[in-house]
Chain A
Amino acid sequence: MKRSEWIGEFWRYRELFLFLVWRELKVRYKQTALGASWALLQPLLTMAVFTVIFGRYAELPRDGLAYPLFFFSVLVPWTYFASALTNAGNSLVANIDLLTKVYFPRAALPASAVLAGLLDFAVAFLFLAGMLLYYAVPPSLEMLLWPLLLLLLVLLALGAGMLFAALNVNFRDVKYALPFVVQVWMFASPTMWTLNSVEEPRWRVLAALNPLGGVLQAFRDSINPNCPVDWLSLGISAAATLLLFLAGGAYFQKTERTFADLI
């Protein structure tokens, strides 16, 4: 199938896609007693731990921000990305009955997992907005970047999600590798450290080659009156995101014809 047909096919099945998103949300919010509060609890608890350990004891650089704000402003997008990637990566294996019994564009499964995560993101983001008010952070023009940053995050989750979803079908050990990948990715991204303390340019470029590097840091800098957004790292990260999205999509498209036979 040509790329354009592939996208057209996806469009034809858009209603099924929306139903899959709707199912994800319904099931997730019905099954957990905590419901939406879980979306909040996860980044909040992580923030609390980071603030105590890295703030109080290690006193890591914090770009002149209050520690809770310093951590939470990146933990909100990070938590979204991590759960979107995990859910998308497992989406094919978790829906064996659908894959082996009906036809639909296979990409609808990881895509619906990535999209459904946005509700959790919205809940956590509202809380972040409340924190901005509490800490009296002045509004800035850089906050207009948020939609673009979110778009990059979604593209990245889609690309990495499709890649891992397909790998998960093709190779049995990917299921165990995925949580590890997510964990390492967290350390490699400026969640507990800041890109602004990386001074040597080539290390900075390297850190931004991680697509999350520039994006997460831009989330943090956009609310930080002390640090302007670093356009170079953001640009590099955006390019890396696009590349990963295309590569993930290509691998998925190449292997999707045999999913039903392998799973």
Chain B
Amino acid sequence: MYNSKATISSINFKQVARALTIVENDLTESAELLKNLTFNKPTPIIGITGPPGAGKSTLVNELINNLLKEGNKIAVLAIDPTSPFNFGSLLGDRIRMASHFNHPDVFIRSLATRGSLGGLSVKTIEMADVLRAAGFDYVLIETVGVGQSEVEITGLADFTLVVLVPEAGDEIQHIKSGLMEIADAFIVNKADRADADIFFNNLKKITSQNKEEQTQIFKTVASQAIGIDEVTAFIKSSASQKNQRRELLLTQKAYQLIQHKLTRHIDKKKLQHAIAEALNTEGFNLYSFVDGYL
């Protein structure tokens, strides 16, 4: 039913969409499909992260606008959280990108975290690679906006934009947050708000400490398409540079893939049953219990 080689070489949205489904759900054909992926150009993967409501989706929408002007083909993976209680998800990032729904060069896919933490879904690496192999010129990944720990994106993206809003806590919040260390550039969105300049300057001070090079900071008002050109220029220049972190990135990806493969046979529901049973025996010890799985 599915011919992985033939389908991935040209951008057929329907086939790309199905390939993503196969990979996301680890269906039978998945391993074969991934092993047959070929990459004809160095498509950069750009991570966009930041707290909820910072304007990530709106910014992505504007970046698409700008990148389209040069005839690029763009794929977006927009990630939203899965409920830990009923395992369902409401995926709404797309709403902000409605003007591109019918554009033949824009492919948008929403995905749910399905229980993984860190702002990505378990299969994001694989899905991003399917899109790269499909021949898109840019792959944009918008992470879940969960706060201070969605740093996994650095293990996946060639470079990461951190979107912040002027009133997002005082500067101390930013120093402690893991987000601050992962940014290749910061975007202060909603920069037309009062105190945006104070925020901008504070951010500049914090990020220039202990660093030879100042991390770039951009001011934008994404909802009015202000400041987007500068960000686009940054994306293009970063994309054309040879990624110094390539080995590190691939190591991280390999590590994650191995980790997922090794724990694949462990089903959380079954684990819970096993725990329930083990609890009935005398002298239950979690560490001895875990040994049984290694």
Are chains A and B native binding partners rather than an unrelated pairing? no
Interface residues of A, Cβ cutoff 8 Å to B: none
Interface residues of B, Cβ cutoff 8 Å to A: none
